[in-house]
Structure 1
Amino acid sequence: MSQADKAKQFAALHKKGEPIVLYNIWDAGTAHAATKAGAKAVATGSASVAAAHGYGDGEEIPLSLVEIIASRIAESVDVPFSLDFEGAYADSAADVKENAARIIKTGAVGVNFEDQKVQGTGVYSVDEQCARIAAFRQAADEAGIPFFINARTDLFLQEPDASKHAALAEDAILRGQRYAEAGASGFFIPALTDRDLIARICENVPLPVNAYMMKGMPEISELGLLGVSRVSFGPGPYREAMVDLKRKVETIFG
């Protein structure tokens, strides 16, 4: 399939109530393994990719290296591939557009795109992030690819006290609605585990909603009933693989 066809296929996999499950990978080898196991699409987690190459999370890994990794993944599998692109290594809309064009050229058909200030503090205002999303969409349109921009809000991730998440729900819903108008394809709500709040966002945001599997999350089947369209695992698979590797090495040298 062409890159555009893969992008269309990826979007079609996001079905409300029947979430696509993305067991996040970090290189071409793990992408290949996931597809052999039956994955219909593959997606990276930024922390996993960074750690696998000796970097910390938060855009520490050079963009040029991310391009190489993304290209190798896209070329190694026949299924759609989405990259966790953090904040696009950019602040201004103009720089977002430039870097978006670079990632689109790798063969990826989607990205996670955060509204937090990756190497700063807090999150972008709604207007600022909408301008950034619109710039990303413009780059995709100019490339002729119906690129899947999974707009992530970090409101819940930046508030460790889950009891305060209810107070953030209206802001999150507004962001989801505005991000849709700006050209986003999906809405990612990592760190939100409350069933009622997840359902409320799914009901009020006109985009496929992505939930993140972590401690305290409902089962995938229940997330589907709440209206979720996509489930991802973030750095969990990488961390589990490294624990297993360490344990096996310890049996040799321990």
Structure 2
Amino acid sequence: MTKNQFQTFKELHYQKDVLYLFNCWDVMSAKIIEGKGVKALATSSYAIADAWGCADGEKLPFENLVWFSQQLIHNSNVPVSVDAEGLYADSLETLYYNAQSLFTTGISGINFEDKKNRSHTYELWNVNEQAERIQILKHVTTSLNTNIFVNARTDLFFKEDKHSIDLVKEALNRAEIYADAGADGIFIPGLTNIELIEEFSRNSPLPVNIMLNSSTNIESINWKNVGVSRVSYGPHSYFQAQNILENHLTFSI
């Protein structure tokens, strides 16, 4: 990946139009999505893991994720952002080496979440611990003489059932600290209340990424007016493909 490609991807978060990302799960789906004229590709960790017979939450072997990222780069002509979950790392040392492995594939960005995927409970990293982890990622880019758009994901809105202004303020505190640590964007999946998304976006120090759910009517909402810069489909493109296959596949024996 060239620095120019990273810059292209970063600039897509600051355009007058929202950046829509239809998440892929293999090279075939990536080619189809790119063929529709998208400006960037993104992956879904759930969809990739499920397609390969694994559960989500870093159950897919890390070396498979690295290999798949390489295949996407070799078969695409637009910037690629990879859903890296927590980069399969509890320690800072492991985080550093895993980031090196993934960042040398040529990708332009990652989603990097603050959920502890290896915990037996739904637990988030302390905000300052996660900030240090983000700093490690930035140190790796410097050591490799490259750039990676770090889309810092907070799972607060998945962890808590009731979403409120207070929870939005807690998420904004994380966004501020993540921004100071070097994050390039903030991802708030799970938050679907338009008023709360607008409140968050109005006060966010970083470009805001939301994830659509199956009930969201995309055509009825001007996300740019809400303050959102990036909209992801997450695993829903994968679910749609499954549904088409289940309902339209016919054969005779």
TM-score by length of 2: 0.94
State the Cα distance separating 1:215 from its structure 2 match: 4.2
State the Cα distance separating 1:123 from its structure 2 match: 0.4
- The corresponding residue for 1:191 is 190
The more displaced of 3-12 and 125-134 is: 3-12
Q: Is the 8 A contact 1:195 1:218 kept in 2?
A: no
- The corresponding residue for 2:139 is 138
Q: Assess, with a 3 A threshold, how the Cα gap between structure 1 residues 134 and 44 changes in structure 2: closer, same or farther.
A: same
The answer to whether residue 157 in structure 2 is matched with residue 124 in structure 1 is no
State the Cα distance separating 1:23 from its structure 2 match: 0.6
1:44-193 alignment runs, 5 A limit: 44-120=43-119, 121-161=122-162, 164-193=163-192
- The corresponding residue for 1:228 is 228
- The corresponding residue for 2:204 is 205
Q: Is the 8 A contact 1:31 1:42 kept in 2?
A: yes
Q: Is the 8 A contact 1:40 1:80 kept in 2?
A: yes
Q: 3-state DSSP class of the match of 1:14?
A: helix
- Which residue type is aligned with residue 205 of structure 1? S
2:45, 2:116 → 1: CA distance?
Answer: 15
- Which residue type is aligned with residue 140 of structure 1? T
Q: 3-state DSSP class of the match of 1:82?
A: strand
State the Cα distance separating 1:202 from its structure 2 match: 1.3
Identical amino acids, percent of aligned pairs = 36
Q: Assess, with a 3 A threshold, how the Cα gap between structure 1 residues 242 and 219 changes in structure 2: closer, same or farther.
A: closer
Q: Is the 8 A contact 2:96 2:137 kept in 1?
A: yes
Q: Assess, with a 3 A threshold, how the Cα gap between structure 1 residues 194 and 216 changes in structure 2: closer, same or farther.
A: farther
State the Cα distance separating 1:219 from its structure 2 match: 3.0
State the Cα distance separating 1:33 from its structure 2 match: 1.1
What is the count of residue pairs matched by the alignment?
250
Q: Point out where structure 2 has 5 or more consecutive residues left out of the alignment.
A: none
1:12-31 alignment runs, 5 A limit: 12-15=11-14, 18-31=17-30
- The corresponding residue for 2:248 is 248
Q: Is the 8 A contact 1:191 1:212 kept in 2?
A: yes
1:16, 1:159 → 2: CA distance?
Answer: 32
Q: 3-state DSSP class of the match of 2:63?
A: helix
Deviations 1:229-251 (A, max 9, x none): 100000001111011112233x3
The more displaced of 174-183 and 200-209 is: 200-209
Q: 3-state DSSP class of the match of 2:152?
A: strand
- Which residue type is aligned with residue 190 of structure 1? P
- Which residue type is aligned with residue 107 of structure 1? G
The more displaced of 88-97 and 57-66 is: 88-97
Q: Assess, with a 3 A threshold, how the Cα gap between structure 1 residues 33 and 84 changes in structure 2: closer, same or farther.
A: same
State the Cα distance separating 1:184 from its structure 2 match: 0.4
1:195, 1:218 → 2: CA distance?
Answer: 12
Q: Point out where structure 1 has 5 or more consecutive residues left out of the alignment.
A: none
TM-score by length of 1: 0.93
Q: Is the 8 A contact 1:111 1:150 kept in 2?
A: yes
Deviations 1:127-175 (A, max 9, x none): 11001010011111211222100000000012234xx333311110000
State the Cα distance separating 1:17 from its structure 2 match: 5.5
Q: 3-state DSSP class of the match of 2:150?
A: strand
Deviations 1:57-83 (A, max 9, x none): 111100011111110001111100000
